[in-house]
Every structure is written in structure tokens, then in C-alpha cells.
Amino acid sequence: MIPKDAGDTELIEELRARDADALAIVYDRYGHLAYSVFVRVTRDQSIAEDLVQELFIRVWNRAKDFDPHKGKLSVWILSIARNIAIDHVRSAQARFQSNLRPLEQTDQLLFSYKPQEPESIIDNAKAVSRALSELNTNQRKVLEMAYFEGFSQSEIATRLQEPLGTVKSWMRAALARMRAAVKLGVTG
């Protein structure tokens, strides 16, 4: 029996071995986060449930392709969740141009992902939560429009009826807080 506090490597190994208990642990860790994102994006709990199932079936079927030594399971799962959500909105409303990076490209990035620090966004949930709570209304708004709705900065500016430069400024400040929260830092 796999322990509930198993690490990414052990979970992935068990998922590759088709151990449903491992998927149960993964679901317990990330299922509520994914569900929250799907409800926020779709505004429909029933659709959100379907999308959560789609997410974890995809994790189950693609675990063999994921190398835990190169990436974090949490980043991989939540990135897939966000792509599923946006793809659903786009397919349902067909109102966006395809600026979102295709899921396959995101996966390639994740499969070669080498975190500089061991902490994950989940491990550092308090810092992330604090960073989000410290965003002002405008910063939070532009971040939400980009994350949940896939809008470009110019589209956000149009919808908010604000100058593009202002929107970029809000966005820049919001992202800086987020970067700091996940302790990745940008040194370029």
C-alpha cells in the first residue's frame, strides 16, 4: 500500500504500474484545486466534474511519459488542468483566437522541467496564498482574465477600457509577486 505522503517519484512509479491507489492520492492532493479552477472557468459544477475526470484519466494514461526527476507532478497536473479548462471554453464558445500554447507544447516543457528549488507551489501554498491576497484589485483582475479566460493583454485592456500600458503595468506587478511567492526568482 502506497503511503499517503508519497513523493512525486513514488507516485509516478505507482501510476505507471497502474496502481489506482496512487491515483487516489494524487486526486486527494490536486483534485480540489483542479475542480475549483474548472468551476471558476466553466461556471458549471457538472461540467467541472467531467473536466476533473478528464484530467485524472489523462494523468493516469500519460504517467508513463512523465519523468519525476525532470519536473514537478503538481506543475504538470495543474498546467494540464488549466489547458483543459481553456480548451473547453474555446471549444464551447469559439470566441478566442488560438494564442494559448497547445497542451502538447506545455507537456514538452514540463517533461524537461528542472526546478531550481525543491519547493513546489503546493509545498509553498501559504506563500502563494499570501501573494495572491496581497494583489490589489486591478492586479488580481488582469491575472484572472489571463489565467481563467485566456485573454491577451490587449484584449484585457479593451474589456477593462484601460490603456494597454496600464494593463501591462498591473500585469507586470502581479507576476512579480507570484514569482517571488514560488521562490523561483528571475535573475536574467
**Side-chain half-sphere exposure of 129, counting CA atoms within 13 A:** 6
The answer to the question of residue 84 lying near other proteins (CB under 8 A) is no
Q: At what angle are helices 20-42 and 137-149 packed, to 10 degrees? A: 120
The answer to the question of residue 169 lying near other proteins (CB under 8 A) is no
Residues 132-151 that bind other proteins (CB under 8 A): 132, 140, 143-144, 146-148, 150-151
In angstroms, what is the minimal distance from the CB of 12 to other proteins? Answer: 15
Q: Which is nearer to other proteins, 12 or 52 (CB)?
A: 52
6, 4, 8, 7: which is closest to 110 by C-alpha?
8
Question: What distance in Å separates the CA atoms of residue 179 and residue 57, rounded to the nearest whole number?
Answer: 30
From 9, 129, 136, 158, residue interacting with other proteins (rule: CB under 8 A): 129
Binding flags for other proteins, 17-56, as an x/- string (CB under 8 A): -x-x--xx--xx--xxxxxxx-xx----x--xx--xx--x
137: three-class secondary structure by DSSP: helix
The answer to the question of residue 126 lying near other proteins (CB under 8 A) is no
In angstroms, what is the minimal distance from the CB of 71 to other proteins? Answer: 8
In angstroms, what is the minimal distance from the CB of 5 to other proteins? Answer: 18
Q: Which is nearer to other proteins, 120 or 138 (CB)?
A: 120
